[in-house]
Structure formats: C-alpha cells, structure tokens
Amino acid sequence: MSSFIEFFLSIRDSKFFTGLVISVIVASAIYAGASSYDIPNNYAVMLDYFDYAITVFFLVEILIRMFAEANHPLRFFKNGWNVFDFIIVVVSLVPVDGAESAFVARLLRIVRVLRIITVVPAFRHIVESLFKSMPRVAFIALLMFIVIYIWAAIGTLIFSEVDPEHWRNIGIAALTLAQVATYDDWAAVMTNVLEAYPYSWIYFISFILVTSVVLLNMVIGIIVDVMSRDARENLFDNVDSNDHVVTKENEGL
C-alpha cells in the first residue's frame, strides 16, 4: 500500500504534473472565451470534445491527489482548497442539455478557471490573506456605510430641489455618493448644484477625503498588513524548521 501511495504522491508533487495542470486550466480559460463566439458547427463539435477531455483530465487529477493522501483518501477533504477543487470538478461533470441550460453550462466552464488559485501558491496566499482580513475590513465597510448614509441624508436635505435626479431620496443620494467616491464624473454632479450652493464643494470634498482617501486606504493598509504578517510567519516557520533539521543532524554526529 505504501508503494501505491508513493506512486501517486510522486505524480502529485512533480513539477511536470503541476505545470500540466496549469496548462489545462489555461486551456479551459481559452475554451470558455472561444465558446462565447459564433463558431461553425464542425468547429463547435471539436470544442465540445476538447471540453470533455479537459473535464476528464480534471477528474483524473482529483483522483490522483486523493489517492496520494498518506492515511486515507477522505483526508483529502480536510483541506478547504481541496474541497473547493472537488466541488468545481464534480459540478462540471453534471450533464446539461437543452437551450435553457446553455447559460448554466457556460457559467460552469468559466468557474472552472478559478482552479488556478489552488494550483499556484502565490494566488492561494493572496486569497487566504483576503479572507483573514475580512473581519477587520467588515468594520471599515460598516463605518463607510454609516458615513455614506449620513452624507446622503444631508444631500437630500440640501440638494433635492436643485438636482432631484441625483438627490430626490436617500437611496438615490447614496448611489450618487458611491459614484462620487469612485471619482466617476463626480465634478459634473457637483456642478449641477454648485451654482445654487457655491459652498457645496465643501460637502463633496469632505466626503471624498473621508471615504476615498481615509477609509479606502485603511482597507488597503489592513490587507497589506495581513499579507506582510503572513509572510513573516512563513519565514520564521521555515527558519525554525531548518534549525530543527540542523540540530537533528548535529545530534546524529
């Protein structure tokens, strides 16, 4: 049994196999893009066979990774990224027929490209850092919602009669402020009320400073802090493991 596991383990950990998986994922992305065009029937049939081949490859790849587990194939599911891969592969195996299912089938093929995240460690590290930063980012998002709500309420009180298209109620005002926060033609929104309220620039500039300059940069700072902390922890773990190996070797001498 150990030789059986070592065989699949050698395949899973080989650089050739990893490169092959990445190549097939890229090919899957190309297929997803090509299928969006109007293709003659003879080429469409070839693309369908190509898609079947990609699906079979992903199935075989998942099985290899499951059999490579040391204790039991079910240990494969203890890793969240493995579960993510397994779900994508299983969903892509579901047969879809008929014109109504064409959209679902195309969507499944596009989602399959997400597997590049689990294969490339750098992508996986970025996504893990984003998830770790979510609790702190959520508080910033809540604070941003409060700021937008307050500024939207003020905007409806001041500008609703001058520019009802953008400020007639708090919902429309919040959407307008989202446009202002992303710098999407915000000067034109300000110009609509600037003639009636010459000092309205204070309202817009203060909102941009609070949201775009302060709060959004805080979000970026949190994500960068989490990523740098993870990088330091990984570096220390590698140093400790290397020191442990050197100590064991010296004890053996």
Q: Residues 184-199: pLDDT tens digits? A: 888 999 999 998 899 9
Q: Is the pLDDT of residue 138 over 50?
A: yes
| Structural domains in the chain plus CATH codes | 2-119 (1.20.120.350), 124-252 (1.10.287.70)
Confidence category of residue 245, pLDDT binned at 50, 70, 90: very low
**What pLDDT score does 98 carry?**
54
Q: Is the dihedral of CA 171, 177, 181, 185 positive or negative?
A: positive
Burial 104-127 (b: 16+ CB within 10 A, else e): ebeebbbebbebbbbbeeeeeeee
Highest average pLDDT, of 51-65, 84-98, 148-162, 235-249, comes from 148-162
Token pair 């915000």 is found at: 186
Q: How many CB atoms lie within 10 A of CB 139?
A: 11
**Residues 59 and 65 sit within 8 Å (Cβ to Cβ):** no
- 106, 117, 103, 118: which is closest to 31 by C-alpha? 106
**What pLDDT score does 96 carry?**
61
**Residues 106 and 21 sit within 8 Å (Cβ to Cβ):** no
DSSP at 78: G
**What pLDDT score does 178 carry?**
92
Long-range contacts of 55-64 (CB under 8 A, 24+ apart): 55/89, 55/92, 55/93, 57/24, 58/24, 58/88, 58/89, 58/92, 58/112, 58/115, 59/89, 59/93, 61/21, 62/86, 62/89, 64/8, 64/11, 64/12, 64/17
Taking residues 51-69, report their average pLDDT. Answer: 86
Local structure of 178: helix, strand or coil: helix
Taking residues 39-45, report their average pLDDT. Answer: 78
Angle value at C-alpha 85, between 84 and 88, nearest 5 degrees: 90
Predicted TM-score (pTM) above 0.75:
no
Token pair 């809540």 is found at: 142
Question: What six digits make up the tokens of 105?
Answer: 């089938």
Local structure of 169: helix, strand or coil: coil
**What pLDDT score does 156 carry?**
94
